[in-house]
């Protein structure tokens, strides 16, 4: 594993005093710590795979507990709202006092939620299980995003994309595993996925050791965090625009993914397993798109990536409610590919706006994304109960048009300085 990136930034993402590390030759560049990036991405895959099992189980839970679409949305709201409220607070706390071994604890919380979900005798216990899974994500995302930046070797967009693609792959795999295991064997078979959680805990223990050794050990010798290249007013304005874009993306994704299986079953007569396979295809396309956003942003700047990735899906989103099954599948693949490239670029852009606050920024944006996803699922579930799933798809098709507000963003902070 490369450790050079570890000595380049402090607990807040700031540069460590050059005296605290050997001087590099002018032609030398820091290299990403690929082993750590691989481990944190794999852990992200396990974490989000277990989250997506809830999404994939919706048809089973709906039948088992006779749930309405509003109750389905409430499950999503519970685990995403838990995560959204806690992530900024956890990120702010760990900016000041890094907690390397919090990562395995977060995965353990997710494991508890998974086991509760497998044994849940009532809708109330399902909500409790969702809350534990949300708590696990609240702990996992801010610190692991910080580690991804720490191990980036200066290639922040690339590192965030590697980190994010693990989560997207996990989200995509969940429905596929549900179709293969949970649909034929029932709710209790979810417990078998606890083995993946134990694997994730093992990986995160190793990552935590690396983090503690290469990061916290030099934490007391860091220089003050770099100042933002923009005024406070400009930073607040840009953060506001980014949050509008997150709202647009995740409210839309909540409607598209939470009710996709029901939409396919209701409109096209697709089986439960067939619908979950289509959900897997959409989520896999999202994972592939995630890989591109960060590295492209490193090269051409974050703003063009943000602009294209959100506003660019608007024509496809507007066509989707009127498409047949073939074109529905095709359009959702395109939407997944393009839309998913946004988050890595948005997150790194925000980190560059507020240097020295990596944990807080990561927690804020992960938390807001989770919150908008949960709120979207709950609101759109109520709307589906009162109208139809098809109407929901028509209504949310206009959300990507909010991508036009990206025009108000200043140039990427990194490019502005260069």
3-state helix, strand, coil in the chain (%, to 5): 80, 0, 20
- pLDDT tens, the chain, 418 aa long: 433 333 333 333 333 233 333 334 444 457 888 889 999 999 989 988 888 788 778 888 888 898 888 898 888 788 877 877 787 788 778 777 877 788 999 999 999 999 999 999 999 999 999 999 989 988 888 888 888 888 888 888 788 888 878 887 887 788 778 878 887 888 888 899 999 999 999 999 999 998 888 754 444 444 455 566 778 888 889 999 999 999 999 889 888 888 898 999 999 999 988 988 898 898 888 878 877 766 777 777 778 888 888 888 999 999 999 999 999 999 999 999 898 888 878 888 888 888 777 777 877 887 787 778 778 888 888 898 999 999 999 999 999 999 999 888 886 544 444 4
Question: Is-contact 340 293, C-beta < 8 A?
Answer: yes
Please state, in angstroms and rounded to a whole number, the distance separating the CA atoms of residues 373 and 341.
17
Sorted by sequence, the CB contacts under 8 Å of residue 378 that are 6+ apart come out as 70, 73, 74, 76, 77
Q: Could you tell me if residue 393 is inside a domain? A: yes
Q: For residues 339 and 310, is the Cβ–Cβ distance under 8 A?
A: yes
In this predicted structure, what is the pLDDT of residue 353?
Answer: 86
Instruction: Examine residue 17 and state whether it is found in any structural domain, yes or no.
Output: no
**Is 15 a member of any domain?**
no
Entry pTM: 0.65
Give the residue numbers spanning the domain of 113: 33-412
Cα separations in angstroms, 51 against 59, 190, 257, 329: 15, 12, 13, 23
Closest CA to 244 of 89, 354, 395, 399: 399
Q: How far apart are CA 55 and CA 109, in angstroms?
A: 18
State residue 226's pLDDT score: 58
Q: Which of 199, 245, 284 has its CA nearest to residue 405?
A: 245
252 is a domain residue: yes
Output the pLDDT for position 22. Answer: 37
pLDDT computed for residue 228 by the predictor: 66
Q: Could you tell me if 129 and 120 are in contact, meaning their C-beta atoms sit under 8 angstroms apart?
A: yes
Half-sphere exposure of 99 (CA within 13 A, CB side): 16
Residue 7 included in any domain: no
Cα separations in angstroms, 167 against 96, 144, 218, 326: 26, 11, 29, 27
Burial code (b: 16+ CB inside 10 Å, e: under 16) for 217-245 equals ebeeebeebeebbbeeeebeebbebbbbb
Residue 211 belongs to domain with CATH number: 1.20.1250.20
The answer as to whether 103 is a domain residue is yes
286-315 per-residue burial string, b: 16 or more CB within 10 A, e: under 16: bbbbbbbbbbbbbeebbbbbbbbbbbbbbe
- Nearest Cα neighbor of 415 from 356, 353, 369 is 353
Residues 6+ apart with CB under 8 A from 384: 69, 259, 262, 391, 392
Place of tokens 């998974």: 114
Residue 3 counted as domain residue: no
Domain count, the chain: 1
Determine the Cα–Cα distance for residues 109 and 8; give it in Å rounded to an integer.
32
Long-range interactions of 412-416: CB distance < 8 A, separation 24+: 412/297, 412/301, 412/302, 412/303, 412/349, 412/352, 413/228, 413/229, 413/230, 413/349, 413/352, 413/353, 414/301, 414/302, 414/352, 415/301, 416/229, 416/230
315 part of a folded domain = yes
d(CA 130, CA 358): 27
* Rounded Cα–Cα distance for residues 220 and 7 (Å): 13
Token pair of 42, please?
């794999």
Residue 80's Cα: distance from chain center in Å? 11
* pLDDT at 13 (0 to 100): 38
In the block, which residue shows the tokens 């595993």? Answer: 177
Judging by beta carbons within 10 Å of its beta carbon (0-12, 13-18, 19+), is residue 285 exposed, middle or buried? buried
How many residues are recorded in the chain?
418
Nearest-5° angle of CA 303, CA 304, CA 309? 100
Cα–Cα distance measured from residue 407 to residue 245, given in angstroms and rounded to the nearest whole number: 11
């Amino acid at each position: 594993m490369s450790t050079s990136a570890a000595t380049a930034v402090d607990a807040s993402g700031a540069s460590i005093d050059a005296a605290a590390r050997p001087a590099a030759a002018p032609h030398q560049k820091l290299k990403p710590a690929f082993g750590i990036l691989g481990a944190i991405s794999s852990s992200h895959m396990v974490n989000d795979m277990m989250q997506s099992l809830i999404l994939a189980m919706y048809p089973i839970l709906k039948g088992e507990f006779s749930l309405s679409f509003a109750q389905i949305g409430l499950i999503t709201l519970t685990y995403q709202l838990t995560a959204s409220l806690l992530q900024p607070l956890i990120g702010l706390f760990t900016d000041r006092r890094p907690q390397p071994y919090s990562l395995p604890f977060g995965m353990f919380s997710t494991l508890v939620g998974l086991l509760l979900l497998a044994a849940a005798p009532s809708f109330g216990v399902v909500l409790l299980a969702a809350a534990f899974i949300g708590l696990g994500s609240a702990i996992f995302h801010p610190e692991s995003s910080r580690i991804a930046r720490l191990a980036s070797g200066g290639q922040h967009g690339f590192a965030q994309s590697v980190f994010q693609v693990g989560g997207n792959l996990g989200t995509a795999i969940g429905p596929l595993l549900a179709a293969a295991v949970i649909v034929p064997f029932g709710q209790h078979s979810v417990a078998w996925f606890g083995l993946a959680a134990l694997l994730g805990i093992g990986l995160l223990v190793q990552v935590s050791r690396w983090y503690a050794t290469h990061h916290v050990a030099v934490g007391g010798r860091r220089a003050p965090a770099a100042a933002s290249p923009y005024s406070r007013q400009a930073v607040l304005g840009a953060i506001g625009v980014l949050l509008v874009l997150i709202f647009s993306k995740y409210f839309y994704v909540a409607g598209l993914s939470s009710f996709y299986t029901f939409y396919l079953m209701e409109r096209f007569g697709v089986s439960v397993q067939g619908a979950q396979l289509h959900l897997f295809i959409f989520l896999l396309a999202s994972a592939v798109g995630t890989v591109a956003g960060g590295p492209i942003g490193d090269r051409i700047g974050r703003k063009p990536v943000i602009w294209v990735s959100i506003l660019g899906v608007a024509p496809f989103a507007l066509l989707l409610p009127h498409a047949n099954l073939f074109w529905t599948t095709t359009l959702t693949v395109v939407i997944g590919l393009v839309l998913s490239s946004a988050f890595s670029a948005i997150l790194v852009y925000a980190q560059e706006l507020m240097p020295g606050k990596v944990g807080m920024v990561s927690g804020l944006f992960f938390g807001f994304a989770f919150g908008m996803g949960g709120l979207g699922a709950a609101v759109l579930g109520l709307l589906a109960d009162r109208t139809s799933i098809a109407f929901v798809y028509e209504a949310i098709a206009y959300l990507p048009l909010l991508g036009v507000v990206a025009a108000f963003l200043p140039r990427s902070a990194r490019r502005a300085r260069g």
